[in-house]
Amino acid sequence: MNDDQLLRYSRHILLDDIGIEGQQRLLDSRVLVVGAGGLGSPVAMYLAASGVGHITLADPDKVDLTNLQRQIAHTTDRVGQTKVGSAAKALHDINPEVRLTLLEKQLQAEDLDQLLAGIDVVVDCCDNFATRQDVNAACVKHRVPLVSGAALRMDGQVAVFDARDEHSPCYACVFPPTPAPPETLCSTMGVLAPLVGVIGTMQAMEAVKILSGMGSRLVGRLLMLDGRDMAWREMRVSRNASCPVCSSTH
């Protein structure tokens, strides 16, 4: 690290759990963020601010006026631009040193299989069930930790699935691929703006902990937030021995 980096990341370096070694691991790390919307905005911004060296950002959509209520990486003057391009401007404003790969597409299974070979952590911020399952399957195959989050109406959830840990469930252990649940979208059901910030920030924190060497104590736990009552609930989750995705990998 040079002098400017030592100054920029000094508050991390002061932490015994991170220090210079942990910050260097962050600088050397590569993260895939799937989705650049409500969850992906705070995730990507905090990862960039924290010094993650290379962020791959994938999202097929363009910025719409309705996004601005909660998707804080985007601004009014960028309505109509691609979300990944808009988010890139926000990230470079925060930290011009961050290296970005921008994918203006909805990732398919074959895309993920190629991408994950060089990725240290995946943060799933997408809004559709099929992509979540594809992301999980790729993470299991390549043994890449997955930080999963979701938010709708006034409820949110966050969990970490780490395929490197033989005791960790995968996403499909908790949310089986079939039958697929009915589609739920914030465009028809609504979402409280700060809720996505709370969940996305927690996802970013778990990713930073994993990348810096602290690891995540959220493996095997599903945290659920009732934003109306500001009440957290925790569900312990375990591997499903007959899971169609991860049962054959351990």
pLDDT digits (tens, 9 = 90+) for 89-133: 999 999 999 999 999 999 999 999 999 988 999 999 998 999 999
Is residue 32 a part of any domain in this protein? yes
* Whole-angstrom distance, CA of residue 225 vs CA of residue 231: 6
Q: Is the pLDDT of residue 158 over 60?
A: yes
Is residue 243 a part of any domain in this protein? no
Is residue 226 a part of any domain in this protein? yes
pLDDT digits (tens, 9 = 90+) for 26-35: 999 999 999 9
| Domain residue limits at 211 | 3-236
CATH number at residue 80: 3.40.50.720
Q: Residues near 61 by Cβ (< 8 Å), separated by ≥ 6?
A: 36, 37, 82, 83
* Whole-angstrom distance, CA of residue 215 vs CA of residue 52: 15
Q: Is the pLDDT of residue 189 over 60?
A: yes
pLDDT digits (tens, 9 = 90+) for 218-229: 999 999 999 999
pLDDT digits (tens, 9 = 90+) for 165-179: 999 999 999 999 987
pLDDT digits (tens, 9 = 90+) for 49-61: 999 999 999 999 9
Q: Is the pLDDT of residue 152 over 80?
A: yes
- Mean pLDDT, the chain, integer: 95
Which of 57, 41, 180 shows the shortest CA–CA distance to 122?
A: 57
Is residue 249 a part of any domain in this protein? no
Is residue 73 a part of any domain in this protein? yes
- What is the tally of structural domains in the chain? 1
Q: Is the pLDDT of residue 187 over 80?
A: no
Is residue 219 a part of any domain in this protein? yes
Q: Residues near 181 by Cβ (< 8 Å), separated by ≥ 6?
A: 129
Is residue 248 a part of any domain in this protein? no
List active site positions.
186
Is residue 23 a part of any domain in this protein? yes
The amino acid at 24? Q
